[in-house]
Chain A
Amino acid sequence: MLIEMTVNGEPRIATVTGAESLLNVLRDELRLPGSKNACEQGECGSCSVVLDGELVCSCLVMAADCDGSEVVTVEGLADDDWLHPVQAALVEAGAVQCGFCTPGFVVAAAHLFEHHPHPSREEIQEALSGNICRCTGYGAILRALENLAGGAT
């Protein structure tokens, strides 16, 4: 079947044969490889996207269910001249190492800040507890986002 979605503000059409996840379609068909495939069980958050305003693991969403939906991926957060504040904060704080988890953290943190501009450290930790990072021990990620939360006041 054909599905129509708005992806990062642009209308896109994808062919879905059956069991493909939204992640498969984004990566393999729409050639948006920023969302990462690390566990395919919704445990690591590397594939996080915003689907109709809700933060989801795109590996757990059936693409066929996304007809008519609006999707924002990591590729949709910066424009040509400016990084999203979350992206800038992570680069500046040295919170990126291998970076495979980074797109998921960017999407999840941007979603948090959109709804809650001044989260506490605990609120940030809880909001990002569905995103696994194996390199940083989370320290630099949390410092970056705490600064952003404080800096915005």
Chain B
Amino acid sequence: MIEKEDDVTLDEVRARMKAAGIEIAENRLEMVRRLLSDALAPIHAVDSRAARTLEPAVMFDAIRSAEPRRDDDDE
């Protein structure tokens, strides 16, 4: 398979595996490389400097930021 310029390479997959302490069978690496390439393409395509004030949605709420838990939630 021909890799696109912005694709994750097999060498990069191996480097990431080493850093994360993760072992993946050699015959599965191409599948993992394609999965990572697909997942990271929109992220690598964006210049994050162009939107410095954009906050991450790590506490996701469909309308607004998640409401703080109330004391009676634990009852």
A and B: interacting chains: no
